[in-house]
Every structure is written in C-alpha cells, then in structure tokens.
Amino acid sequence: MSLSGRYRRILRRRAKARFEAECETRPRNLDVQDGVRVHRHFGGGTLRVGDGVQIWRGVLLLLQQPEAVIELGDSVFINFDTKLVAAERISIGPRCSISWNVSIIDSDFHVIDGQQAVRPVTIGEHVLIGAQAIILKGVTIGNGAVVAAGSVVSRDVPPGTLVAGNPATVRRENVTWV
Ligand SMILES: CC(C)(COP(=O)(O)OP(=O)(O)OC[C@H]1O[C@@H](n2cnc3c(N)ncnc32)[C@H](O)[C@@H]1OP(=O)(O)O)[C@@H](O)C(=O)NCCC(=O)NCCS
C-alpha cells in the first residue's frame, strides 16, 4: 500500500475512534471519514448511532442545547457537507440516504415575533433526501419517501411519496427507490 493510502487509513481509523467516543451507543461497522464534526454548543447533548452508519467528510452534527438529541438508525448514509442542527431532537430512521449539502434543522434559532420555535424533526425508514434539500423544524417524513434535490420541506411528507420544490409538495405517490 502507498504511503498516502496508509496515511488515509490512519486518518479514517482516528476519525472513527473520535466519532465513537461521541456516541452514547456502541455502534458497530461505522464508516466515518476524517473531517466529520460533532459540536456540542453548551457542552451537552446526546448522539445515538446505529450499526453500519456511513458519514462522509465535512458533515456537521450540532447539538445546540444540553438536552438536544440526534439519532441515526442502522445503515444511515450521510454524504459530504450535510448539517444536522438539533436544539431538541433530530431522528433519522434506518437505511435513510441523505445527500450532500443537506440541512436538517429543528429550530429557528432566533426569536421571531417573540417566540423561538423548536420542534423535533422525524425522518422515517428508508427515506432518500436529495442534494441541497432543507428540512425545517417540526417536519415528519414518512417511510420510503423521496425528497427531490433542492427542496425546502416545511410540512410533513406522507410515506411513499416524492416531494419537490419550495415549499416541497407531493409530485408522485407509491414511489420506490434503491
Ligand atoms: C427526486 C428525483 C430523483 C425525481 O426524479 P424523477 O423521478 O425523474 O422526477 P419526475 O420527473 O417524475 O418529477 C415529478 C415532478 O417533480 C418535479 N421535480 C423533480 N425534481 C425536482 C426538483 N429537484 N425541484 C423541483 N421540482 C422537481 C418535476 O419537474 C416534475 O414536475 P411536473 O410533474 O410538473 O413535470 C430527482 O428530481 C432528483 O432530485 N434527483 C437528484 C437526487 C440526488 O440528489 N441524488 C444524490 C444522491 S447522493
């Protein structure tokens, strides 16, 4: 193996060990690239991660409040530079695939009209989220759904539907994806 190949393997091992140390769970078969960050804004927060999760470079998991929770089910895949920002809870079910540059945020993070809205985000099983989509506070995405690239999802997505646009609306039903 080349020197750079060996160096990459060492970096990958270190990244994985650092990430495992952040998890409340003891996930097996993680594949976490160097440059994945877990940031605890006030020092607390809980990260629960299932087995076989893959997370690529530049992904940020931000636990904004001490009681914030991020949950990733078994075999979740998260592509480059995606950001999950949780003040309360972001839950992603097993076998979801989340593309690059996606933002998932469960709060407005500012006081608007005298209130700071915080509502958990729940993503079901086997959901596909396309590149550069934004998933906003309070949204539940049903099992098997597909979110098209660049969508802004501000309302719930029924299971097995394809949503697209800003705001995202249902474009097709009974979709399947692999
Ligand atoms: C979701 C996706 C796979 C759907 O592709 P498709 O099956 O060819 O979509 P369709 O043509 O059936 O789309 C249905 C409708 O939604 C619209 N639509 C599809 N994707 C859209 C998008 N990203 N933004 C806005 N509208 C979109 C289509 O124009 C069509 O509208 P119409 O019925 O008025 O003509 C595709 O749009 C997409 O987002 N691909 C990128 C996925 C991605 O990010 N992959 C990276 C994985 S790591």
CA distance 19 to 38: 8
Number of domains within the chain? 1
- Residue 151 CA to ligand 1 centre (angstroms): 9
φ and ψ at residue 10, rounded to 5 degrees: -65, -45
Q: What is the CATH number of the domain that holds 90?
A: 2.160.10.10
Q: Is the pLDDT of residue 1 over 80?
A: no
Question: Is there a domain that residue 177 lies in?
Answer: no
pLDDT digits (tens, 9 = 90+) for 76-133: 999 999 999 999 999 999 999 999 999 999 999 999 998 889 999 999 999 999 999 9
In ligand 1, the atom with minimum distance to the C-alpha of 150 is 23
133 CB under 6 A from ligand 1? no
Q: What is the pLDDT of residues 18-39, one digit of tens each?
A: 999 999 999 999 999 999 999 9
Task: Specify whether 126 is catalytic.
Answer: no
**CA-wise closest residue to 144 among 105, 96, 98, 84:** 96
Query: Does any domain span residue 178?
Result: no
Report whether residue 14 contacts ligand 1, using a CB cutoff of 6 Å.
no
Q: How far is CA 155 from CA 2, 69, 94, 102, in A?
A: 49, 21, 21, 17
Alpha helices in the chain (DSSP H): 3-22
**Average pLDDT of the residues in 134-141:** 98
At 45, list the tokens.
Answer: 């927060």
Token pair belonging to 99: 């593309």
Q: Is residue 14 part of a domain?
A: yes
Instruction: Give the pLDDT mean for 64-72.
Output: 97
The residue type at 151: S
